[in-house]
């Protein structure tokens, strides 16, 4: 995940040596700030608590970065289930970026949860 929160609940970005808190499960996360991948936070267990969390490609990260920090990785809590939306706009619209194969049933499940959603899907690798 690109963002964690600090002790005051403020969204923070990964920087070397920084620790944060996962906004979903409230467990400790640590910054991973290497040379080859985008800096991000990871759970100490290395397992994302959001069942919908996936390793993000640069394509995915680049799309999210078109939007302001406050709109990225917004936690949606519905019926005591929490998921991290890629982008949530002020009008409530959720934008999800998908760069890996996903089943139709999974699209339906996520769309039902978020309700007001559009999908941006990278189909180029599959058009051959």
Give per-residue pLDDT as tens, 33-61: 988 888 999 888 767 788 888 778 889 99
The model carries a pTM of 0.87
pLDDT in tens, 76-113: 999 989 999 999 999 999 999 998 888 999 999 999 99
Q: What are phi and psi of 99, to 5 degrees?
A: -120, 5
């Amino acid at each position: 995940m690109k963002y964690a929160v600090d002790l005051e609940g403020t969204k923070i970005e990964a920087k070397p040596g920084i620790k944060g808190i996962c906004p979903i499960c409230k467990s400790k996360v640590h910054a991973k700030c290497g040379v080859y991948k985008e800096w991000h936070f990871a759970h100490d267990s290395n397992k994302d608590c959001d069942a919908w969390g996936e390793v993000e490609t640069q394509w995915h990260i680049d799309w999210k970065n078109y939007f302001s920090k406050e709109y990225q990785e917004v936690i949606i809590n519905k019926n005591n289930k929490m998921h991290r939306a890629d982008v949530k706009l002020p009008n409530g619209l959720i934008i999800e970026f998908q760069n890996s194969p996903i089943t139709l049933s999974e699209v339906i499940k996520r769309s039902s949860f978020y309700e007001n959603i559009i999908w941006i899907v990278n189909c180029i690798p599959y058009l051959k």
